[in-house]
Amino acid sequence: MELRFFIIRRLLLIIPTLIGLTIIVFVLMWSLPHTFLASAFINPKAPNRAQQIINAENALGLNQGIVLGYLHYLGNTFTGNWGYMTLSNPIKYSGTVLSGIGLFFPNTIQLVIFAAVLSILISIPLGTYIGARPNSLADHLGRIFSLSFYAIPVFVLAIVFQVIFGQGVIAGNPLGIFPISGTFTITSQIAISPPSWLISGVGGVVLSKPTHLIVFDALIAGDYSLASNAFMHLVLPVLVLTLSLLAGILRFLRASMVDAANSEYVKTARSKGVPEGKVIKLHMRRNALIPTVTVLGLLFASLLGGVVLIEDVFDYPGIGYLALSTILSGSIFGVLGTTFLFGIVLISANLLVDIAYAILDPRIRY
């Protein structure tokens, strides 16, 4: 089967997966007391509360049985009516779930993309290098490095990095140059007269427009000192996330490089007179990437878990921080909304991994 048919089929397969996801989230919701659901669904500030609750019961289909209830849930999900959430701890926010996600999600995307790109850019050449030289000094160092960072939980790593590199954590530490919390430093000047592109007042978090990413928004607005300040805030969370992801990829790539080196087709390549560099890059690495990419899907799932922890440690206003707030504030629709979002992210990551897998390995066309 040709590659593009595979990709089309794989894209179509998303539909049943998404339906499965909605069923799971719906069942989680439906198992809760219905009156509680109805009262959590509405805007708490709305007048005429009693009428609003009755409206919410109708909107959620709470009194129409589980099947119609599910259909109502589907309708609400796809029309963008994800309910209200009122958060108090640690983020202070009140509004619809969807707009809350819209505010916080870009920051997480920024974090994850930086970490993923950096770790892939570093780990693939490094893994190729050490995998082609098993039991050399470089290999031993690489293995110690990757095993340690693979084994240390990200939140421990985050706290250790905050202590070592954090600004003002240890007095007089020459390495302590990176801020340890938030996305930028709120100076008194900004606090008194915030520039028009900063949206303040969304809870304890200051957000920006149009992209919601402070670094880019500051660059767009031409405030370079603020941009560099925001960039410094990004360094530590990205570094921690990169290291944990890098360690995982490195370990698997190294192992599959060693596997490939012992294979018959590498012997064939050498018997043809292919120069050693090309044997490593074309014949060994091309095959070693296949198992590594498979593992990448799993690593990505653990990365999402890591994001929640890292955003909490660094007070970074991303989706993980939001998810934590919804739990701590007991906002049921916030929890359901972020759960659904995490599901979608994981599904799309797996889609990308599967497509990459099929491109790399011609044998995979099921």
Partner 1 sequence: MYSIQNLEDKESKEEAKEEDAYLKVTDLVTNFYTSRGIVKALDKISFSINKGEIFGMVGESGCGKSVTALSIMDLVPDPPGRVVSGKVEIDGFNIFSDLANIVRIRIKSQTDVKVKRNKRALKKHNFMLSKIRGKKAGMIFQEPSLSLNPVLRAGEQITENILIHNKKPIADSLINRANLSLDDLKHLVEEVQKNKENVRSILNEWCRSNALVDLETQINSIFRNYSDPAEIESEIVSLIKAGLTSVDKRSLIEARDYYSYIEKAENLQLSLYAAEEGSDRELISSIEKELEQLRLKEGTRYRFYSIKRIFTGRKVERVFKAEAERRAKEILSLVSLPDPERIMRSFPHELSGGMQQRVMIAIALASDPKLLIADEPTTALDVTTQAQILRLLRNLNKLVGASILFITHDLAVIAEMCHRVAVMYAGNIVEVGEVLEIFDSPKHPYTVGLLGAIPTTQAKTDAGVNMHTIPGSVPNLITPPSGCRFHPRCSFVMPVCSQSKPKLVELETGRKVACFLYSSEVDD
Contact set with partner 1 (CB under 8 A): 262-265, 267-276, 282-283, 286-287, 290, 360-363
Nearer to partner 1, 1 or 27 (CB): 1
Q: How far is the CB of 128 from partner 1 (least distance, A)?
A: 15
Q: 231: closest CA among 215, 211, 243, 213?
A: 215
- Distance between CA 60 and CA 54 in Å, rounded? 10
Q: Cα 336 from chain centroid? A: 17
- What is the helix (H) or strand (E) element at residue 288, kind and residue range? helix 286-313
| Least distance to partner 1, CB of residue 7, Å | 18
Strand partners, 86: 94
To partner 1, the closest distance from the beta carbon of 287 in angstroms equals: 6
CB of 1 to partner 1, least distance (A): 11
* Secondary element (H or E) of residue 297: helix 286-313
Q: Are 336 and 28 in contact (CB under 8 A)?
A: yes
Question: Minimum Å distance from CB 283 to partner 1?
Answer: 6
240 vs 269, beta carbon nearer partner 1: 269
Q: How many C-beta atoms lie closer than 10 Å to residue 136's C-beta?
A: 12
When the beta carbons of 168 and 277 are compared against partner 1, the nearer one is 277
In the bound state with partner 1, the residue whose beta carbon lies nearer, of 35 and 268, is 268
Alpha-carbon distances of 198 from 194, 218, 227, 317, rounded to whole Å: 6, 9, 13, 14
- φ, ψ dihedrals at 85, nearest 5°: -135, 145
Nearest approach, Cβ of residue 269 and partner 1 (Å)? 7
Q: Cβ closer to partner 1: 168 or 273?
A: 273
Closest CB to partner 1 among 2 and 65? 2
Rounded CA-CA distance 28/270 in Å is 57
Residue 90: asked if its preceding bond is cis (omega within 30°), the reply is yes
Taking the complex as a whole, the smallest distance from the CB of residue 144 to partner 1 amounts, in Å, to: 21
Backbone angles phi, psi at 365, to 5 degrees: -145, 65
Shortest Cβ 186–partner 1 spacing (Å)? 50
N residues, the chain:
366
123 or 287: CB nearest partner 1? 287
* Cis amide leading into 210 (omega within 30): yes
Using the minimum distance from each CB to partner 1, give the nearer residue, 58 or 262. Answer: 262
